[in-house]
Amino acid sequence: MAPLSTSVPFELLDRYGQSSSGCPFSPSGLVSDRSFCETLYREALAELASAPDDDLALYVHVPFCHVRCLYCACDTTITHSEEKVDGYLDALEREFGRVAELIGQGRRVVQLHVGGGTPNHLNEPQLARLMEIVEHHFTLAPDACTSIECNPRRASAGQLDLLYGLGFKRVSFGVQDLNTDVQRAIGRLQSLGMVRDVYHTARDTGFENISFDLIYGLPFQTAEGFRTTLDQVIDLAPDRISCFSYNHDPVRRPHQHAIDAAMLPSAEQKLALFRQAVEAFTKAGYRWVGLDLFVREGDELAVAQRAGQLHRTAIGYTPLPASRVLAFGPSGVGELGDVLVQNESDLRAWRGRLDAGQLPVAAGRRLGERERRRRDALVSLMCNMRLPAASAAALKEDQDRLLCDGDGGLVEVSQDGIRVTPEGRYLLHGLCVERGGSSGWGSTQWRSILVQ
């Protein structure tokens, strides 16, 4: 791996320093005509039905939390009603059944990710039912990558034991920051002792991969305080660590008005915090993958990146060749070849579409051949930090921008292809976003979501 830069040109921040969203994929450039989108999705599912041996990946969105964290950018509903969650599971079962009917029952799944929201907001019978729904309609491969996101404040020893028994091999915990002042400012108090106990309980339970999510750019974060959090996380030694950028957007997310914008780090301070994380984690033996994911050198993602074979789907980074991703639940994003679709984000609207006998897609788009090649080239560049000349031809329309980026020291363009420089890695999100619109992938499509 190329040496990491210790000097990032701050004058490029205005152009490339956009914040990423803190939640999974919200594709841009999609058509919002619901009738058109359902027809498009049915066509894509019919194509999938004609390829019964193709492996699948599943994303299930659980849209519930017990309380709203002030930094949150996810589609979620605050509820303490078990009946409301049961109603969601009823609708989810209908969605699974409808899709399985169109593509064939029992299709092989090599990756399952359950995200939210807070998936472990569900009680034990509800968690068991969720997995029963999945396994009734699909067949999980013996070596399938099965992962779930968890709030450590709700993760008991009994719940973790149940999740492991249900077949989850990987778990991700939302840690965010371990500084008490930061936690108070974002409405998420959780002590180091509690996080440590949950982590060791998960390790003792048998989970093969444990991940932490951190966020930089939060109110009251300082270099000294964030360094303490980084040291505490490194001491626990999770297998993977994501370090996401906080995006303050109270217009779209009114609950963020509760965060004092005056206490947020500046763009320069944010970049310094992220550089601090990169240096701390790489010195501790982690490899920087993609935008903001850090994994052990022996991790399958690190091995794939070194070989130039790391891939990215609508779920996240994967060493597997591009899979067909089916999404279930409100706001879920599916990716079926050249077709991108997104479900209704509103829980009531999503259920209403299912109650009416429809597929609950709210937006979608089929990429043209040139767009698809361009998207694949950009994803490869983001994953592997380089692009051979043959693949770089798909970015011909970006030539002027790439040459400008080369002048700024962010990429190197040569007869051999394109390579992201050490300086460019820190601004990779901005590099990709600026070119992402016409390919149908918006800014959040480039953030690193754990393939837990």
**Rounded Cα–Cα distance for residues 442 and 204 (Å):** 39
Of 128, 136, 191, 133, nearest to 163 (Cα)? Answer: 128
- How far apart (Å, rounded) are the C-alpha atoms in residues 290 and 447? 9
Contact 369, 350 (CB under 8 A): no
Q: Give the pLDDT mean for 222-251.
A: 96
Average pLDDT value for the chain: 86
Segment 59-77 mean pLDDT: 92
**Residue 6, exposed/middle/buried by CB under 10 A (0-12, 13-18, 19+)?**
exposed
Percent of the chain surpassing pLDDT 70: 85
Give 210's strand partners: 171
The torsion of the CA quartet 323, 327, 328, 330, rounded to 10 degrees, works out to 160
**For residue 117, cis peptide bond before it (omega within 30 degrees of 0):** yes
Phi-psi region of 337 (alpha: psi -120 to 50; beta: other; left: phi over 0): left
> Percentage of the chain surpassing pLDDT 90?
65
Tokens in use for 10? 């701050």
List, as one string, the DSSP characters of 88-118: HHHHHHHHHHHHHHHH-TTEEEEEEEEEES-
Spatial separation of the C-alpha atoms in residues 68 and 190, rounded to whole Å = 14
Q: What is the mean pLDDT of residues 104-132?
A: 97
Residue 183: strand, helix, or coil: helix
From the list 20, 16, 73, 71, the residue with the least C-alpha distance to 447 is 20
φ, ψ of residue 145 to 5 degrees: the values are: -85, 110
**What pLDDT, in 10s, does the model give residues 295-344?**
999 999 999 999 989 988 888 899 987 679 999 999 999 999 899 999 99
Give the residues across from 65 on adjacent strands: 78
Q: How far apart are CA 135 and CA 411, in angstroms?
A: 45
Paired tokens of 227? 């360094």
Which residue, 176, 239, 243, is CA-closest to 211?
A: 239
Coarse DSSP helix, strand, coil percentages of the chain, rounded to the nearest 5 percent: 45, 20, 35
Strand partners, 343: 361
d(CA 170, CA 370): 36
Question: Residue 208 and residue 212: Cα distance in Å, rounded?
Answer: 14
Contacts of 370 (CB under 8 A, 6+ apart): 394
Q: How far is CA 369 from CA 213, 354, 373, in A?
A: 36, 32, 6
What separation, in Å, do the N-terminal and C-terminal C-alpha atoms of the chain show?
24
Residue 48: how many other CB atoms lie within 10 Å = 21
In contact, 250 and 256? CB cutoff 8 Å: yes
What pLDDT does 415 receive? 82
DSSP annotation of 4: P
Closest to 212 in 3D by CA, of 186, 180, 181, 190: 190
- How far, in Å, CA of 43 to CA of 32, rounded? 17
| pLDDT score, position 449 | 23
Which three-class secondary structure state does DSSP give residue 420?
A: strand
* Short-list 432, 449, 450, 448, CA closest to 28: 432
Three-class secondary structure of residue 213 per DSSP: strand
**Strand 240-245 with 209-216, pairing:** parallel
Dist. CA 105–CA 449, nearest whole Å: 28
Q: Bridge partners of 258?
A: none
Can you give the pLDDT at residue 305? 93
User: Over the stretch 394-446, which tens digit does the pLDDT of each residue have?
Assistant: 776 665 566 565 556 778 888 888 888 888 888 776 665 544 333 333 323 22
- 26 phi and psi, to 5 degrees? -130, 85
Highest mean pLDDT among 221-225, 248-252, 365-369: 221-225
Q: Name the burial class of residue 63, with classes exposed (0-12), middle (13-18) and buried (19+) by CB atoms within 10 angstroms of its CB.
A: buried
Condensed to tens digits (0 to 9), the pLDDT of residues 24-62 reads 334 555 677 888 899 999 999 999 999 999 999 999 999
**Nearest Cα to Cα of residue 37 among 353, 295, 361:** 361
Strands 361-366 and 339-343, sheet pairing: antiparallel
